Structure 1
Amino acid sequence: MASAQIQTLLRFLSQDVKVPLATAMGKTLELQKANLITIEQISKANLEILEGIFNDKKIAKQVLNAAKRISKKRGASDDTKSSPQKRNKSSKPLKKDSTPFEIESSLSLPSTAVNEDELSGTVVVTNRAPLVLAFAVCVLKYTMPEQPLSSRLSLAQAVVSANSRTKAASLGLEEGNSAEQEGWGEGHPIVKVLGRDIRVLKRWDYDPNEGKPPIETKTEDQSENTQDKQNQMPPLWGVDLEALRGKDSNHNTGRHQTTDNTLSIFRPESARSYLYRAFSKPAEEGKTAPKKKSVASIEDEKEECLGRILSAIDMVCQSWVPKLDQAELDRRAWSWYIRVRPDVQSGVQGWGEKGQVKLSDILALRRGI
């Protein structure tokens, strides 16, 4: 079985079916022996065969149902394949009473349908901060798979902000202690993202699947999912400590605030918007006075570039998931970013002038570091 097929199967079992990664790795070979290599093949499999492989009737049903669900979605996607990026892009403002599922859907990020050869030949122009953001968002999908997209965007933006503050201090452009050094956020939990400690707020009352249209109603599956949720970290917000310090100095509201309304957090909408604006194609050499592009054309180009760079990083993560645990994957991700970041003069806000990033360099990270 090809490496890409193994990665797809592992991702399906660990993320869509919620099978522990160690178990998923052990069952991949058994699925191969049963000639169940693709999700489509699994969706058409006999339930008894799956029960024999997983030795558990409930898990076998979950595997079969998840495969059917994904195959059905892919079939619907193929019917409207003419403009994949535009389907992901949310252009309408959300209603005040939008459900969590609608909110998460509105934050979806673009992907690309190009083959690996074309992806490898792609060069994008960006600066360092959004590239860190892109790496963090992708890596969090594997190091904290229970986190919804809104949380991953918030946590990723927290990493970018912390790195920017550190860089500014090293250049002498920020004086005094940071909010973290002064004790702001003390008492809030800490998670590691790209090796950096991030203060977080737990969103106990948030269920990202609330409002999701029911596809199949299976009592056994629901009880299984409920048990999974009890063992998982709840959705998180990345806490904006610098903004919190500024808010307190203006309003004297105190350090230990615990609600979304009073605590400064990194908003996922801002992080997503930043990603959509941050990547573009390099200027074509040898051309003078290029024809001015429309705003819509520029936005489409940026979206395509973002989709390609996210896909390249995701392919790297998938290749390492079978070999690294979550903590080690997070640790190595920062070194991957260092190897491919644009070679520019460092500044503060955007971490310097823009430079080129070759997606072939990103894809090469699958061969080891």
Structure 2
Amino acid sequence: MASAQDLQSLLRFLSQDAKVPLAQALGKVKDLQAAKLNTASDLAGADIDSLKTVFGDEKIARQVLNAAKRVSKKRKASESSGPVPPSPKKAKPLYGQPLNPAEFETSLALPEAQRDEEVLRSAVVFTNRAPLVLAFAVTLLKYTMPDQPISSRLSLAQAVTSMNSKNKAIHIGIDQGHAAEDEGWGEGQPILRIMTRDVRVMKRWGYDWEEPSTQDTLKASTQETLASSEATLVEEPISKEPALWGVDLEALKKAAAPNNATGHKASSSQLPIFTAQSARAYLMKAFETPKDPSKAAPAKKQSGSVMAAEKERNLGMVLGALELLYESWVHVLGKEDLDKRAWGWYVRVRPEVATGAAGWGGKGNVKLSDILDLRRPIQDPKREPE
């Protein structure tokens, strides 16, 4: 009978290396035990038909078999090279993320949204289209995926923005070839539909970004695999969805290119992602104040800190206008319908730029009153309902 540690290792292999969804992995562990497939080495030596019988899907079966062979090969290579002396340097956290998730999320906070309609009605920002898509998407996710931390919402919104930019570049002839999403990169990863784009995501199992007092600390260990003293896997419904990263398919495609000098091939646990820090930094510097052509240029150039504060204030106004827009519809539209409408709303207010390649990266004015005008009309309480 397999030990609790063996079970934990098996489930970790299935969910992290083979990228089998955790709920499915939990349901297959007992079947794998019955077939005496308790380790990655056992799975690497199995035939595809046996794995198809367990998983009921040839695609998943091959995915598990290939991952098992890859892991076993690495393990043998490591063993043959002898023991590796411990590194004196402290390992860096994945993706440059601080060790304390709560502090990491706090560091990603966006400026406070300006929700004063009188202020927003007269406000105009100068920007290009990509950061406006990013602002639309990250605010949308606040209402369609409220349980996701800000790091995930920024990453997913950046995925939408980058995929849109890539397809636009191909459409106007600036970029050649096909988008990675159209070529099937990231196959096997879960998909989320966000503002007309199918975003490949990676689940961040075990990432607990909330304060310990607000969540049961045992949930993370349940997701990793738990067994009783008799090694019977505890199967409990997972009440909270894990945090997500948006997978960078173009980076994945580039990394696997034959002429890539690094020769890097991302494993299932090292997929390139859209980082939340980069998305936030892009938003923070993207919304300028339009220049008044009737006024002469100031004799003294503004300092960097003054310009940064101005852009931060403008971003707060953009976020406030978007929050008021989504809040007017969120109680009458389902999440899917709200998501579908978001792209059309963006198209109606995006800055005007030249058509084709001439307009690539071009900037223009965005009137925040135009965003406010997209809100659901408030019904007159004196009017009889239809």
Shorter-chain TM-score bucket reads 0.5 to 0.7
Secondary structure of 2:192 counterpart? strand
Aligned counterparts of 2:172 and 2:238: Cα–Cα separation in 1: 45
Partner in structure 2 of residue 287 of structure 1: 295
Which amino acid letter does the alignment assign opposite residue 173 of structure 1? I
What RMSD in Å do the two structures reach over aligned CA positions?
2.8
Confirm or deny that 1:174 pairs with 2:175. yes
Identity %: 51
Partner in structure 1 of residue 163 of structure 2: 162
Which amino acid letter does the alignment assign opposite residue 150 of structure 2? L
Which amino acid letter does the alignment assign opposite residue 153 of structure 2? R
Give 1:350 deviation, angstroms. 8.7
Give 1:154 deviation, angstroms. 0.4
Q: Gapped runs of 5+ residues in structure 2?
A: 1-95, 223-235, 378-386
- Runs ≥4 residues deviating over 6 A: 225-229, 347-350
Partner in structure 1 of residue 339 of structure 2: 330
Give 1:232 deviation, angstroms. 3.4
Partner in structure 1 of residue 268 of structure 2: 258
Which amino acid letter does the alignment assign opposite residue 268 of structure 2? T
Confirm or deny that 1:142 pairs with 2:143. yes
Q: CA, structure 1 residues 204+128, in 2 after alignment: closer, same or farther (shift >3 Å)?
A: same
Which amino acid letter does the alignment assign opposite residue 103 of structure 2? E
Give 1:205 deviation, angstroms. 1.8
Aligned counterparts of 1:281 and 1:130: Cα–Cα separation in 2: 15
Aligned counterparts of 1:350 and 1:206: Cα–Cα separation in 2: 41
Aligned counterparts of 2:114 and 2:172: Cα–Cα separation in 1: 41
Give the conservation status (yes or no) of the 8 Å contact 2:192–2:201: yes
Give the conservation status (yes or no) of the 8 Å contact 1:194–1:330: yes
Aligned counterparts of 1:114 and 1:318: Cα–Cα separation in 2: 12
Give the conservation status (yes or no) of the 8 Å contact 1:345–1:352: no
Q: CA, structure 1 residues 187+329, in 2 after alignment: closer, same or farther (shift >3 Å)?
A: same
Give 1:238 deviation, angstroms. 0.5
Give the conservation status (yes or no) of the 8 Å contact 1:126–1:342: yes
Aligned counterparts of 1:229 and 1:207: Cα–Cα separation in 2: 17
Secondary structure of 2:181 counterpart? coil
Secondary structure of 2:200 counterpart? strand
TM-score, scaled relative to structure 2: 0.63
What are the superposed Cα offsets for residues 291-325 of structure 1, whole Å, 9 maximum, x if unpaired?
32111110000000000000110111111111011
Confirm or deny that 1:355 pairs with 2:364. yes
Confirm or deny that 1:231 pairs with 2:239. yes
Aligned counterparts of 1:213 and 1:289: Cα–Cα separation in 2: 53
Aligned counterparts of 1:133 and 1:317: Cα–Cα separation in 2: 15
Aligned counterparts of 2:183 and 2:247: Cα–Cα separation in 1: 15
Give 1:98 deviation, angstroms. 3.6
Task: Please state which structure has a larger fraction of its residues in helix.
Answer: 1
Aligned counterparts of 2:168 and 2:315: Cα–Cα separation in 1: 25
Partner in structure 1 of residue 348 of structure 2: 339
Aligned counterparts of 1:320 and 1:276: Cα–Cα separation in 2: 27
Give the conservation status (yes or no) of the 8 Å contact 2:248–2:273: yes
Partner in structure 2 of residue 85 of structure 1: none
Give 1:329 deviation, angstroms. 0.5
Matches within 5 A, 1:35-184: 97-113=98-114, 115-184=116-185
Q: Gapped runs of 5+ residues in structure 1?
A: 1-94
Give 1:253 deviation, angstroms. 4.6
Aligned counterparts of 1:153 and 1:229: Cα–Cα separation in 2: 28
TM-score, scaled relative to structure 1: 0.66
Aligned counterparts of 2:148 and 2:97: Cα–Cα separation in 1: 23
Aligned counterparts of 2:342 and 2:115: Cα–Cα separation in 1: 24
Give the count of matched residue pairs.
265
Larger CA Rg, structure 1 vs 2? 2
Give the conservation status (yes or no) of the 8 Å contact 2:125–2:367: yes
Aligned counterparts of 1:348 and 1:264: Cα–Cα separation in 2: 29
Secondary structure of 1:186 counterpart? coil
Secondary structure of 1:230 counterpart? coil
